[in-house]
């Protein structure tokens, strides 16, 4: 909503495969929300993450529901279905166009990890992305994003934000679950229970 002075809202967009969502994602979104005084952060689970097509990804509805569970307690967080309800590969250019139409009075801040930001020119219509949103790159353990990695990203459209180092990845959470190790406190409690209830990330069968 626009206030009487016509001020534009600031909305964060946190896209991800979220297989599963973990506290690294949630801390990054919370830090960026506070840093930019965002009105809200919209989490957008991917439908078909084409750059992860070489590996098995859990059903979109499971990833969506885990994201809803993980964000439910924060009044500034919500989850959008735009990417999972669109058919075909998921491209951020479509995410930003769809959200821009839904939120015409908002300035968008797309939140990514530093690793993802360094690869942004492999994304579809990369040049156009910077016309639709600001980009916020979160530092992540193991990634030292020097200014050369930002390459041709327009400087006025990108900000790097240092967040408390959290060495958590979805890959590690899946592997720990497959090995029967706990993921308590790496992911929200409700997500631990969702993974168990729906038998996500089962132990892989050893071939004799």
Out of 83, 170, 177, 191, which residue is the one contacting ligand ATP (CB under 6 A)?
A: 170
Instruction: Decide: 16 and 57 in contact? Cβ < 8 Å.
Output: no
- Look at residue 28 and give the partner it binds from ligand NCN, ligand ATP, none, a contact being a CB closer than 5 to 8 Å depending on partner kind: ligand ATP
Which CB sits closer to ligand NCN, 52 or 179?
52
Q: Does 11 bind ligand ATP (CB under 6 A)?
A: no
Q: For ligand ATP, give the closer residue by CB, 143 or 198.
A: 143
25 binds, among ligand ATP, ligand NCN, none (CB under 5 to 8 A by kind): ligand ATP
Helices (H), 43-113: 60-71, 82-85, 92-102
Tokens linked to 134: 């600001």
Residues 6 or more apart whose CB falls under 8 angstroms from that of 164 comprise: 27, 31
Burial of 14 (0-12, 13-18, 19+ CB in 10 A): buried
- Residue 80 interacts with, from ligand ATP, ligand NCN, none (CB under 5-8 Å by kind): none
Handedness of CA 110, 115, 121, 122 (dihedral sign): negative
96 vs 195 by CB, closer to ligand NCN: 96
Asked if 171 and 162 count as a contact pair (C-beta separation under 8 A), the reply is: no
In the list ligand NCN, ligand ATP, none, the entry touching 124 (Cβ below 5 to 8 angstroms by class) is ligand NCN
Q: What is the DSSP letter of 120?
A: G
Cα separations (Å) of 73 from 26, 62, 76, 184? Answer: 12, 19, 9, 18
Q: What character string, x for contact with ligand ATP (CB under 6 A) and - otherwise, covers 94-133?
A: ------------------xx-xx-----------------
Can residue 138 be called a binding residue for ligand ATP (CB under 6 A)?
yes
Residue nearer to ligand ATP on the CB measure, 140 or 177: 140
Tokens of 81: 């279905």
137 binds ligand ATP (CB under 6 A): no
Nearer to ligand NCN, 2 or 171 (CB): 171
Q: Can you read off the two tokens belonging to residue 153?
A: 């990203």
Q: Which residues bind to ligand ATP, rule: CB under 6 A?
A: 16-19, 24-25, 28, 112-113, 115-116, 138, 140, 166, 168-171
């Amino acid at each position: 909503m626009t206030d009487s002075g016509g001020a534009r809202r600031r909305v964060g967009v946190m896209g991800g495969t979220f297989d599963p969502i973990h506290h690294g994602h949630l801390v990054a979104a919370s830090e960026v929300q506070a840093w930019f005084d965002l009105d809200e952060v919209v989490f957008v689970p991917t439908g078909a993450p084409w750059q992860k097509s070489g590996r098995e990804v859990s059903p979109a509805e499971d990833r969506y529901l885990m994201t809803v569970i993980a964000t439910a307690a924060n009044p500034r967080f919500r989850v959008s279905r735009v990417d999972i309800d669109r058919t075909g590969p998921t491209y951020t250019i479509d995410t930003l166009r769809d959200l821009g139409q839904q939120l015409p009075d908002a300035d968008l801040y797309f939140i990514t990890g530093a690793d993802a930001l360094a690869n942004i020119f492999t994304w579809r219509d990369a040049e156009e992305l910077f016309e639709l949103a600001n980009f916020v790159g979160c530092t992540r353990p193991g990634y030292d994003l020097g200014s050369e990695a930002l390459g041709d990203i327009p400087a006025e459209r990108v900000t790097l934000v240092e967040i408390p180092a959290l060495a958590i990845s979805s890959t590690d959470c899946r592997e720990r679950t497959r090995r029967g190790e706990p993921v308590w406190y790496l992911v929200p409690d409700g997500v631990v229970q969702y993974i168990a209830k729906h038998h996500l990330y089962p132990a892989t069968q050893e071939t004799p």
